[in-house]
Structure 1
Amino acid sequence: MALAPRLEIRQGQSLVMTPQLQQAIKLLQLSNIELSNFVEQELEKNPLLDRDERADIPDMAAESADRERADASGDTGADSGGDPSGDAGGDAGGDDGFSDADAGQLSLNDASPASEMDSGFEDMYPDDTGSDRTGAAGAEGDATPAALGGSDWSASGGSGAGGAAPDGDLDLESRLTRDQTLHEFLTEQLDVSVFDPAKRLIGRFLIDCVDDAGYLRFEDGIDGLADIADRLGVALEDVEGMLTVMQGFEPTGVMARSLKECMALQLAEQDRLDPAMQCFLDNLELVARRDLAQLCKLCGVDEEDIRDMIAEIRALDPRPGLTFGGETAAPVVPDVFVRAAQGGGWTVELNTETLPRVLVNQQYYATVSGATQNKDDKLYLSDCLQSANWLVKSLDQRARTILKVSREIVRQQDGFFAHGVSHLRPLNLKTIADAIDMHESTVSRVTSNKFMATSRGVFELKYFFTSAISSTDGGDAHSAEAVRHRIRELIDSESPKKILSDDKIVEMLKLSGIDIARRTVAKYREAMNIPSSVERRRQKKLSA
């Protein structure tokens, strides 16, 4: 067959990932903090986007609920987002377990998205949200609110807008002060203890190598004290001398290079670092294994002395630097609230404080575009308007999808919310995706980095997805998380004189109707950081 160039016409289908669709997918998997940072960047780049700083957002939940119930013509099972499948709403105490107040969660005042932006959205979201209503720009409505800015996404009717704090809550002192950090405290001690400029330079370099726990950690290619001496052009003896001086700083144990050295510094200050204690510190791994016999042999003391040494070690501070202020860990902010509804069932609400509130300024666009004659400027404004409208719709769809997935999770795991972890059911992404008519990948993105606040604590959405463990009697399968909880309960309630082995736990679980292998029990136990039966026996014997 001769090889020659030729023209062919072929017809096929393919998914084109437009920049707008990529943005929508990206927004879906962002956490609330990442989403807030992304919206801030868009506000800086796009002149047509404004932050909605209104303190009073109109409560449109009740009005929207009445309108949607009238449109549904009595279909109380319709989703508050307009889901025709009818699996996300319901009367209080009904079969689905949701209160009637849920119908008011998704009242919207959407922006006016361009029709050409809708293509490509259907792949990720079902077209059931009714978010294509347009709002004309007028004298009072010239700034089109984003779906999250002009809406109340909570059944409780709160505005969720972050306004100015009342005068009584304005605490300037707490805003203008902060705790002293460990590095600042060490620097103060260095300045009053060392006056040689060269030694101070060494000391400041060593302080920069101290982590929040107070340990000396070498990074950026630094191998040790010798490498520091080479970098600073000083003798190794000077660096070691400065380290010895600074290891006498407060808090005691700071500037140590290992846990053993940290404890040795604290014991030396208490005049308790004798040869037996030093040998004890050199064999801390035996302490972790509760091997008292070997410790007695190495340290040359009896078992009572070893117990006293362990008591002294427990009184020490293994992380002396943590007594000082550092970077405050940001608390987990839930994306969804689940509350018990009056009359039974559960109310699922989005946390409005985590939803960005932005406006598309239609009046500014009309004014500027009308006064602009340059073709490139008009094209730029048109792109900004399209990008702003698309962002509004993406935020709207993201919030709707999170709420829809969360409600289905609550429906599937109703036993957990009512009775606890032991009633957690096996659940996978496909079950949720089929129930709400979405793709598994969409559900996976929604459940990543999203948290749900319940009466039993705050859980990541992925926590509710667990594998199934078969039942011995052929009944319903058990959730792996529920089985792990059961294993922990058995171990916590075991008698010090009768420690449960993994084989014994398997027998007890099978009596409860759980068909599980011994290696699975061992895997779950290790994942929960529970020691083996031998180590638990030593531990309880030591603490007896």
Structure 2
Amino acid sequence: MPISIQQVQKLSQRLVMTPQMQQSVKLLQMNTLELETFTQQELLENPFLELEEDTSEIQERPLSEKMDEDGIHEEILREVEAESDFESVLAVADDNYDTTPDKLIVDQTDRSEQADQSESVSPPSLEEQPEHFSEVDTDWSDMYEDGEARSYSSANGGDDGEEHSYEEYVAGRSSLYETLERQLRLCTLQGAGYEIGKYLIGCIDERGYLRSPLDECAGHFGCSLEAVERILSVIQEFDPSGVAARNLQECLCLQLEAMDELTPLAEEVLKNHWELLSKKKFKEIARAEKVSEDEVERLFRRIQRLNPAPGRAYSKEQSIYISPDVYVKRMEDRYIIYLNEGEMSQLRLNTDYRQILLNGKSADEEETKTREYALEKYRSAVLFIKNIEKRRNTILRVTEAIMDHQREFLEKGVQFIRPLALGEIAARVGMHESTISRVTRSKYVDTPQGMFELKYFFSSALESHNGEEASASTAVRQKILELVDNEDPMRPLSDDKIAKLLAAKSINIARRTVTKYREQLKILPTTMRRKKK
């Protein structure tokens, strides 16, 4: 068959995600912190979006009513897409983002009646006597023209007029490289020795270990390997103790040497019996070194208190704190679920920019472009508020369904978590499993039993005897953890023994499954948990 170029028409149907749907999916899988960052970016780009900073101001009428009064609302709705459904969006924005309670609105008539009934005469308001401000508004700069200036200015002598946080002037932490390089400048190394020391410091990783071979350094500078080792021994005396070690054994030896506790036994055990020590085989070490087993065990406990990563103390990584996305609080005999909206509760449409839309269509090309830009940003702002509200309702519905299924967990604790799959919640709330997966992604819920990730409540079911309800794998892991915590340190429980204890509680689980759960919980095996008297 000859190959040729042809033009072919093909009719097909496919699902195309609109920008509104794409943004809705994107917002749904964001947690609270990510959503606040994204919202701040939208506030910078869209002039129709703003945060209501002063929540004490009372809005007498909804925003949509004010816009209807000026005739803008109907005009915009005619120019934007019909599927956007802006009327419902504005209703949502008005109903849910007005943070001022109605009960705070005080009737001026009632207030005046109360004032008449009061025996004491209230002083006149400042609004009624604005001229009194001139009597107390003193310009102190005129009073003390020749006095010393008490204000503090920046280093360049300028005043930018902005308020600065004191945190901006706090000294930053020195990195491990900066700390070692400062000590290198204070030591006796000079010339080529200083350059070799600087090179070796640059080869130290964030944990404090030297990751470059010494022969590579010697070849780079054209010197002997012994000269590089002498310079390395100088760097290994720097703070923190144990830095510039080539392996864990050398790091521990350097720390014991810095504390003058490096005995011949400790050095021999760390260098030649490391594998036996890590497996707590004290008898074999004692037999090989001809010492008592108690002496080896005391050495083991001393080594346990050393720092295996001395460079981590100078890490500039900041701790990331978890902020709950949903709160579950107990109120008498029921549970209240509400969303951590943060600044989202103050998000609203900016009424000032509606003046741009008041200008009718003009023949001026520049004004036409301005109006088109305003219409586009208005459409984007309304869709953003609608998607925020849709995200809020979806998260609340899913969380309510999860907590309703795990009601026994809220009452009694982790051991009573029931098996749960994404499909069960999806069928319950009438959504797809992928939507439930996006909702539970990287989101945390604060419950009376503690803070947990939403995915924590989804676990597989394990068979049980006597026809009882299947146990969740999460609850089984918790029971294994409690069994290990309450075991006799002299006679720790083996995996087979744990499986039998769980079988006595009507939980059918194999020994290999116990081993898998124990490793997931980072619990050591029996031989390494056993302690002597």
User: Is the structural similarity TM-score above 0.5?
Assistant: yes
Aligned residue number for residue 336 of structure 1: 326
**Contact 1:36-1:356 at 8 Å conserved across structures:** no
Aligned residue number for residue 531 of structure 2: 540
- State how far apart, in whole Å, the 1-side matches of 2:252 and 2:283 are: 22
Aligned residue number for residue 79 of structure 1: none
- State how far apart, in whole Å, the 1-side matches of 2:315 and 2:96 are: 37
Question: Which one of the candidate residues 261, 283, 287 is aligned to 2:277?
Answer: 287
- State how far apart, in whole Å, the 2-side matches of 1:226 and 1:356 are: 62
List per-residue Cα deviations over 1:370-401 (Å, max 9, x = no partner). Answer: 48734655544443333232222222211221
The CA deviation at 1:409 is: 1.4
1:312 aligns with 2:312: no
- State how far apart, in whole Å, the 2-side matches of 1:194 and 1:38 are: 53
The CA deviation at 1:317 is: 2.6
1:39 aligns to what SS in structure 2?
helix
- State how far apart, in whole Å, the 2-side matches of 1:313 and 1:265 are: 12
1:540 aligns to what SS in structure 2?
coil
The CA deviation at 1:174 is: 5.6
Structural mapping, 1:122-141, within 5 Å: 132-134=88-90
Change (3 A) 1:133 1:398: closer
Deviates more, 1:368-377 or 1:257-266: 368-377
Letter in 2 for 1:288: S
Change (3 A) 1:472 1:384: same
2:295 aligns to what SS in structure 1?
helix
Letter in 2 for 1:186: L
Aligned residue number for residue 122 of structure 1: none
Deviates more, 1:390-399 or 1:472-481: 390-399
Question: Which one of the candidate residues 184, 193, 205 is aligned to 2:187?
Answer: 193
1:132 aligns to what SS in structure 2?
helix
**Contact 1:179-1:324 at 8 Å conserved across structures:** no
Aligned residue number for residue 36 of structure 2: 36
1:21 aligns with 2:15: no
List per-residue Cα deviations over 1:101-144 (Å, max 9, x = no partner). Answer: xxxxxxxxxxx99973756xxxxxxx9xx981436xxxxxxxx9
Letter in 2 for 1:349: Y
Letter in 2 for 1:180: R
**Contact 1:251-1:320 at 8 Å conserved across structures:** yes
- State how far apart, in whole Å, the 2-side matches of 1:481 and 1:59 are: 49
The CA deviation at 1:495 is: 2.5
- Sequence identity of aligned pairs in percent? 34
The CA deviation at 1:192 is: 2.1
Structural mapping, 1:372-521, within 5 Å: 373-374=365-366, 378-521=371-514
Question: Which one of the candidate residues 236, 242, 253 is aligned to 1:264?
Answer: 253
Letter in 2 for 1:35: L
Structural mapping, 1:83-102, within 5 Å: none
The CA deviation at 1:508 is: 1.8
List per-residue Cα deviations over 1:436-456 (Å, max 9, x = no partner). Answer: 111111110010010111232
Change (3 A) 1:317 1:365: same
- State how far apart, in whole Å, the 2-side matches of 1:150 and 1:230 are: 71
- State how far apart, in whole Å, the 1-side matches of 2:217 and 2:260 are: 31
Change (3 A) 1:475 1:201: same
- State how far apart, in whole Å, the 2-side matches of 1:480 and 1:416 are: 14
The CA deviation at 1:529 is: 1.6
The CA deviation at 1:530 is: 1.8
Structure 2, unmatched stretches of 5+, are 63-75, 102-162
The CA deviation at 1:176 is: 3.0
Structural mapping, 1:133-172, within 5 Å: 133-134=89-90, 150-151=98-99
**Contact 2:323-2:444 at 8 Å conserved across structures:** yes
Letter in 2 for 1:30: M
The CA deviation at 1:178 is: 4.5
Aligned residue number for residue 116 of structure 1: 81
**Contact 1:146-1:392 at 8 Å conserved across structures:** no
- State how far apart, in whole Å, the 1-side matches of 2:377 and 2:227 are: 61
- State how far apart, in whole Å, the 2-side matches of 1:175 and 1:475 are: 61
- State how far apart, in whole Å, the 2-side matches of 1:202 and 1:338 are: 59
- State how far apart, in whole Å, the 2-side matches of 1:51 and 1:205 are: 53
- State how far apart, in whole Å, the 2-side matches of 1:269 and 1:146 are: 68
The CA deviation at 1:243 is: 2.9
2:467 aligns to what SS in structure 1?
coil
The CA deviation at 1:210 is: 4.3
- State how far apart, in whole Å, the 2-side matches of 1:407 and 1:525 are: 32
Report the number of matched residues: 450
Using structure 2 for the length normalisation, give the TM-score: 0.73
Change (3 A) 1:540 1:147: farther
Root-mean-square deviation (CA), in Å? 3.9
Change (3 A) 1:495 1:131: farther
The CA deviation at 1:188 is: 3.0
Letter in 2 for 1:304: D
Aligned residue number for residue 249 of structure 1: 238
**Contact 2:52-2:348 at 8 Å conserved across structures:** no
The CA deviation at 1:205 is: 4.9
**Contact 2:426-2:436 at 8 Å conserved across structures:** yes
- State how far apart, in whole Å, the 1-side matches of 2:96 and 2:205 are: 41
- State how far apart, in whole Å, the 1-side matches of 2:48 and 2:256 are: 61
Please identify which structure carries the higher helix content. 2
Change (3 A) 1:473 1:217: farther
- State how far apart, in whole Å, the 1-side matches of 2:52 and 2:425 are: 36
2:307 aligns to what SS in structure 1?
coil
The CA deviation at 1:56 is: 2.0
The CA deviation at 1:333 is: 0.8
Change (3 A) 1:483 1:200: same
- State how far apart, in whole Å, the 2-side matches of 1:456 and 1:178 are: 39
Deviates more, 1:459-468 or 1:271-280: 271-280
- State how far apart, in whole Å, the 1-side matches of 2:189 and 2:345 are: 53
Structure 1, unmatched stretches of 5+, are 65-111, 120-126, 136-143, 154-169
Letter in 2 for 1:52: L
Aligned residue number for residue 181 of structure 1: 174
Letter in 1 for 2:19: P
The CA deviation at 1:356 is: 7.4
1:473 aligns to what SS in structure 2?
helix
Aligned residue number for residue 47 of structure 2: 48
- State how far apart, in whole Å, the 2-side matches of 1:476 and 1:385 are: 54
Letter in 1 for 2:246: R
**Contact 1:149-1:357 at 8 Å conserved across structures:** yes
- State how far apart, in whole Å, the 2-side matches of 1:369 and 1:198 are: 76
**Contact 2:89-2:382 at 8 Å conserved across structures:** no
Aligned residue number for residue 69 of structure 1: none
